[in-house]
Amino acid sequence: MKFQVPRGTRDILPGEVERWHWLEERTRDVMRRYGYREVRTPLFEATDLFVRSVGESTDIVRKELYTFADRKGRSLTLRPEGTAPLVRAYLESPAVRAESPARLYYLGPMFRYERPQAGRYRQFWQIGAELLGSAKPEADAEMIDLFRAIVEEVGLENVTVLLNSLGDAVCRPRYREAIRAYFEGRIEDLCGDCKERLKTNPLRILDCKVPSCAPVIAGAPNVLDSLCAPCAEHFDAVKNALDRLSIRYEVAPRLVRGLDYYTRTVFEIHAAGLGAQNAVGGGGRYDQLVKDFGGPDTPAIGFSIGMERLLLAAGEAAPSEPPRPDVCVIALAPEAAVEAQVLANQLRTPAAMQVLVDVQGRSASAQMKWASKVGARWAVFVPKGKEGYAVRDMAAGEDAPNQPGVAELRAWLLARRGLVESAR
C-alpha cells in the first residue's frame, strides 16, 4: 500500500461514523433549544487573524499552526480554533451583527501541529458556541449551562467544571507585574520555554506542563487576590448563578487556558476516563476581541468542546450499530433487476424506510443470503406475481401475506413499522 492517512489524522468510517451522527444530532438539538444558530466559516483564514487573537506567545501560534503561502504569496493558516474566524464572520455580516446578543455555534475540524496521542490529533473536531453582545454574568452562566447541557445530553456523568477569572484591562496588568516579579526571583527553577515566557507573557508560565516548573508555579500569587472590585463582583455573580442553576464547579486559580484573548471568566470541563487529555472542552470571556478586530465594543463569551474527547468519554452511550434496512427487494430473475430498483424507489419515497436492492446480478438465493446478512426486516420479490407482491418477514422467518399493489405494500410495511404514510 502506497499511501497512509497523515500522522495525527484519522478516517471516520462506517461503524464509527454513526457515533458522530448521534453526537452531531444531539448537539444540534441542544443548540436549537438554547436558541443558537450555526455558522460555517472557511477551513483557512489569513494567518494574522490567529496571530492577533490567539496570541503570538501561545504554543498554538508559536509551534502548532499549519501555515502556507497561496499562489499569490498570501500567508494563510488552517484554522486551529473557531472563535477568531467566527468573530471575523460576525464583523463582516451586518445581518448577524444586528442580532444582539448573537447566539452562534459551529461544528467542524480544526488543525494543530501537536504531538499525537490518545485524545490529541492534528486534525480534530470541535463543537463551539459563542454569545456576542453581553457583559452580564448571566451570559457566562448561560454558556456554562449550555456546555453542561451538551455533556449531559450525551450521558456524561462525573464531570468537573473548573472556573477562574483572569481579570480585565484594569487589574490584569497589576497581576502580570506581580507574577513577573515572583518568577524573576525564581528564574533558575524555570524550564527554557518559561524563561522565554517571562519576557513575552508571564501569565503563560501558569499553563506550563513541564514537571520541574510545577513547584514554582504552585507558590505563585493567586489571580483571584488581585481582581479589581468590578471583576470580583462579576466573578461572584457568575458563581451565584451557577449555584442557582445547580451546576457544580471548582474554583481553579491556576487555570489560564492556552489562548490569549480571554478576559474575566475562564472555564474548563474535565471528564473521568480521559487520562492526560482530560479536558473535554473549555472557554471563557473575550470582551476585547471584537474591538481588537476593529469592531464596536462587544463583550462576548464562548466555549469549544473536542468531539473526539467527548465521544471517548461518552463510551458505550454512543451507538455504533448502523440502522438496519427495512426491506431488500429481491429480483427473482436477471430481467427483473431494474423493476427491483423501481419498486425500491417507490418504497423509499414516502418517508423513513431504508430499502436496498442488489446491483451485482446475484442469484435469487444469493440475494436472500445477503438480505439476511444485512439484517433486513422484510424481503419483497419482483416480478410481481398474479397474487401480487410476495413478502417474507425475515425477522420472523416466515412468509407474510401477498400485497396486491405498490400502495397496499407500502401501507402494509409502514403500518408494521409504526409509521403513518405521509399525506401527499
Which spans of this chain sit near ligand HAM (rule: CB under 6 A)?
81-83, 112, 114, 119-121, 124, 126, 128, 130, 258-259, 279-284, 286, 302-304, 306, 308-309
Q: Closest CB to ligand HAM among 133 and 258?
A: 258
Question: What is the C-alpha to C-alpha distance for residues 380 and 377, in angstroms, rounded to an integer?
Answer: 10
Smallest CA-to-CA distance from 353 within 333, 371, 328 is with 328
Degrees (nearest 5) of the Cα angle 119, 120, 123? 120
Question: What is the C-alpha to C-alpha distance for residues 367 and 187, in angstroms, rounded to an integer?
Answer: 74
How far apart are CB 59 and ligand HAM at their closest, in Å? 10
Contact (Cβ atoms closer than 8 angstroms) between residue 350 and residue 422: yes
CB atoms < 10 A from the CB of 23, how many?
A: 23
How far apart are CB 189 and ligand HAM at their closest, in Å? 27
Contact (Cβ atoms closer than 8 angstroms) between residue 376 and residue 325: yes
Q: Closest CB to ligand HAM among 148 and 410?
A: 148
How far apart are CB 11 and ligand HAM at their closest, in Å? 16
Q: What nine digits make up the cell of 34?
A: 438554547
Q: Closest CB to ligand HAM among 54 and 223?
A: 54
How far apart are CB 64 and ligand HAM at their closest, in Å? 8
Q: Closest CB to ligand HAM among 183 and 267?
A: 267
Q: What nine digits make up the cell of 269?
A: 470541563
Over its C-alpha atoms, the chain yields an Rg (Å, rounded) of 28
DSSP annotation of 188 reads G
Q: Closest CB to ligand HAM among 216 and 301?
A: 301
Question: What is the C-alpha to C-alpha distance for residues 64 and 335, in angstroms, rounded to an integer?
Answer: 59
How far apart are CB 379 and ligand HAM at their closest, in Å? 44
How far apart are CB 17 and ligand HAM at their closest, in Å? 18
Given the C-alpha cell 515566557, which residue does it identify?
197
Q: Closest CB to ligand HAM among 162 and 232?
A: 162
How far apart are CB 122 and ligand HAM at their closest, in Å? 7
Question: What is the C-alpha to C-alpha distance for residues 55 and 289, in angstroms, rounded to an integer?
Answer: 11
Identify the burial level of 250 via C-beta atoms within 10 angstroms of its C-beta, where 0-12 means exposed, 13-18 middle and 19 or more buried.
exposed
Q: Closest CB to ligand HAM among 66 and 182?
A: 66
Contact (Cβ atoms closer than 8 angstroms) between residue 51 and residue 83: no
How far apart are CB 366 and ligand HAM at their closest, in Å? 44
By Cβ distance, which residue is nearest to ligand HAM? 306
How far apart are CB 114 and ligand HAM at their closest, in Å? 4
Given the C-alpha cell 481582581, which residue does it identify?
227
DSSP annotation of 120 reads B
Q: Closest CB to ligand HAM among 304 and 367?
A: 304
Question: What is the C-alpha to C-alpha distance for residues 401 and 391, in angstroms, rounded to an integer?
Answer: 7
Phi, psi dihedral angles at 423 (to 5 degrees): -80, 100
Question: What is the C-alpha to C-alpha distance for residues 124 and 302, in angstroms, rounded to an integer?
Answer: 19
Question: What is the C-alpha to C-alpha distance for residues 58 and 64, in angstroms, rounded to an integer?
Answer: 9
Q: Closest CB to ligand HAM among 49 and 331?
A: 49
